[in-house]
Structure 1
Amino acid sequence: MIGYLWINDAEAAARWVPLRANPNQGGWWDDRLDDAKARGLTPSEALIEMIRNPPGSSGVVPGSLTVAPHSAAVDDLAGYAPRERPWRASAAVLLGLAFGDAMGYPTEFMTMEQITAAFGPWHEMEMPLSSDGVVRVTDDTQMTLAVGEALAEITTSPRATGGAWGAAQSLAPAQVEAALRRHLVAWLHSPDNNRAPGQTCLNACAALERGIPWQDATVISSKGCGANMRVAPVALVPGLTAEQRSGIAQLQAAMTHGHPTALAASDLTAHAIWLLSHGCALDDLLTQLRLYALQSRRKYHGDWLGDLSRKAGAPDPATYIAFGWDECLSALDKVTEALRTPDRDMDPSRAVGAGWVAEEALATALYCLLVVHGYRRAPIQRGAHSSGDSDSIAALAGAFAGALNGPRFWPDEWTEVLEYRDRLLALGQLWD
């Protein structure tokens, strides 16, 4: 035995994984895969051809064809240690989100021609500094802090048994809703809330301040990206169950954006960050997200969402939430299609979507991450250099890149002058 071949037709992907003990054997399998791709074969067609006509003296063991849940399982079979959550992943995610937000801030309402004239090619973009030498962010980062600090407040109680983990596992929907309400209203009245915040967030937070049920305060018809631009902290709180992460991700979205797609896209965004920060390989990411969406498609979190589906006029809760997941699945399909013929120099908003709505912000940010293979600062540069909602796209791309790479990839000189640096790092320190 010298290694394994895996293929995935849905992502047009294939790879040779040699046994760790014999990493230099079997390179001809890579050559055969490359040749098959050049001839236009699908991965499964290539595998069938190699089973029937093995290269050289090697061959596929008869009867060994099977299904693996993800490529990490094949790495495990080959003897490679699984990646664990990177040290300080939380800090890396939050810093990445803020850096992307800051880089996309000045380009949000510019055309591609204007962006190129002002900042040069996308891969040469630098972090913009304000006149006082500070890296300024938008309401994307401000609202992320509101969500993060609300969760920190209720998971660090000294009375909680088991520390932060015990506090997280005992969270109740009413407790989370009350904390989110306090912090969102505080953001509404912050003197720093002058970065062109979305009207949906402003209206809903004003209604929340009046003390009415959040299901009446939310803007039922809105699925704007304000729902998921701020969800990253939900993926980072240690000790949450999968059910809690999903419920909280959807609740924090639903309190301002009541459309089912806003809920599903927020849930999926948090899950993407959680997957990447726990070692999901880039070549598995879209497959894992699609699987999660399919499994969640008709799961309505009644404990967290209450009667929101009824207020939205849906015939039943499952139908309500399924609509949102279906739109997210369609958005993932757009990413897959765009990556079949990847063009790093194409405007991401043209390749996938402008990102003004939640599922497009997620999809376009994923594209920005994947088209550059998650390398260093390239995901946020590519997201900021776009004709759509560039700050939100780049913010999510930065959160994904941080989850994938850890904090060492963000330049210290950026962190030192970042607005809200201390608050972001405090959350990172708490959760890491």
Structure 2
Amino acid sequence: MKQAATGALVGLALGDALGFPTEFNDVPAILAKCGPWREMALPSPAIVTDDTQMTLALGRGIRTAMDRGVLGPPRLARPVREEFVDWYHSPENNRAPGNTCLVACRLLDSDRPWQQASQLGSKGCGANMRVAPVGLVPGLSDEQRAGAAQLQSALTHGHPTALAASDLTAHAVRLLAQGAEPTGLVGLLRSYAYENRLRYHERWLGDLWTHAHDASPEDFIARGWDECLAVLERLTAALRTPSPETDPCLATGDGWIAEEALATALLCFLLFPEEPLTALRRAACTKGDSDSIACLAGAFAGAHLGAAAWPAEWAERIEYRTELLALGALWDA
């Protein structure tokens, strides 16, 4: 077995750690700090950001929910909400977390319905950077996977583009884990986006759409899928004339927002689908949200190539290694 779940979770954390020191820097500053991008070394110690912390929080929440029975909306929302609130109060939550997550988690720490905590104006990448576990858990139906991906996003980031990008990210991870060829991945994602463009998962999202200003739930969710389809077009154009030495952010965006984080991470992965460390280094040497771009690129590469993608001297040094391996082993079993 290639151990896709272990590969994806370790790759996500490695990309996060590699991109942590380069976030908020432009490419010339990164090169001055780190040297040639193709030779970037994993920092020592290999400390991660809130991206990995929230991925683990989501993973623990999913594990708890599935230990209790068939995965459904209330069964998932409760433990994930609790995990997010625990992360919010943790002394280890000191890695420059996004404002949307902080505001939403503070509101989740109450008796209010989660829809009233969700930040509907935010499509930051904080929801899809952590969604990989949804694509790795075995045994879910398509409806469960899409609903879970969007619900975990909506707990903090309620913008329809955040929902759609999280759904697409989990779907990409699942496709790669199941053996989809990287060359056909973007086409599969575009087809998925078209098929789901008007599908509002009311069972999972409840009345979330009514907190926005759209005429119908279909209008609400279509806004998100349309923005994702637009950035997938930009990704397709970039892959027609690949330029590995050019900052990927120039083609598909800086990654601070959900759809651009997905597209730019995919671009880094698809430039080097069989060279996982090169993909991570390219993602970390970008002018945008380097840690989130690199963590998603690592999840894609690890889902595609499995645990063997990562050299032991890197994987053994990553923060939260024991918990990452435990979740990976559970879902690879």
- TM-score exceeds 0.5: yes
1:33-182 to 2 correspondence within 5 Å?
86-129=1-44, 134-157=45-68, 167=69, 170-182=70-82
Unaligned runs of 5+ in 1: 1-85, 158-166
**CA deviations over 1:48-82 (Å, ceiling 9, x no partner):** xxxxxxxxxxxxxxxxxxxxxxxxxxxxxxxxxxx
Can you list the C-alpha shifts for 1:265-297, whole angstroms capped at 9, x where unaligned? Answer: 000000000000101101110000000000010
CA distance in 2, matches of 1:424, 1:348: 28
> Post-superposition shift, 1:156?
2.6
The equivalent residue for 2:254 is: 354
| Cα distance in 2, alignment partners of residues 391 and 370 from structure 1 | 18
Corresponding residue for 1:44? none
> Counterpart in 2 of 1:22?
none
SS at 2:108 equivalent: helix
Structure 1 residues 317-356: aligned runs within 5 Å = 317-356=217-256
Give the Cα–Cα distance (whole angstroms) in 2 for the partners of residues 411 and 200 of structure 1: 34
Who is 2:308 aligned against?
408
Aligned residues: 332
For residue 418 of structure 1, report the CA deviation from its aligned partner.
1.1
RMSD between aligned residues: 0.9
Q: CA deviation at 1:236?
A: 1.0
Distance 1:183 1:404 in 2: 28
Q: Kindly indicate which of the two structures has a greater share of residues assigned to helix.
A: 2
Q: Distance in 2 between matches of 1:123 and 1:216?
A: 45
Q: Is residue 2:319 matched to residue 1:419?
A: yes
Q: Determine the structure 2 residue equivalent to 1:210.
A: 110
How far 1:376 sits from its partner (Å)? 2.6
* SS of residue in 2 equivalent to 1:226: coil
Deviation (angstroms), 1:244: 0.2
* Alignment pair present for 1:303 and 2:203: yes
Higher RCO structure (Cα 8 Å, ≥6 apart)? 2
In the TM superposition, 1:130-279 aligns within 5 A as 134-157=45-68, 167=69, 170-279=70-179
Matched AA of 2:232 = L
CA contact (8 A) 1:146 1:180 kept: yes
Alignment partner, residue 49 of structure 1: none
Contact 2:153–2:163, Cα closer than 8 Å, also in 1 = yes
Residues 258 and 312 in structure 1, CA contact (< 8 A), matched pair in contact too? no
- CA gap of 1:374–1:327, structure 2 versus 1, over 3 A, is farther
1:276, 1:241 → 2: CA distance? 17
How far did 1:215 drift? 0.7
Using the alignment, how far apart are the partners of 2:315 and 2:275 within structure 1?
A: 18
Does structure 1 conserve the Cα–Cα contact (< 8 Å) formed by 2:87 and 2:93? yes
| Partner amino acid, structure 2, of 1:109 | F
Deviation at 1:374, TM superposition (A): 3.8
Per-residue deviation at 1:303? 0.4
Give me the identity figure in percent.
Answer: 55
Aligned-pair distance for 1:252? 0.3
Q: Distance in 2 between matches of 1:140 and 1:374?
A: 24
Indicate the structure (1 or 2) with the bigger Cα radius of gyration. 1
Contact 1:101 1:392 in 2 (8 A): yes
Q: Which residue identity is paired with 1:235?
A: G
1:57 alignment counterpart: none
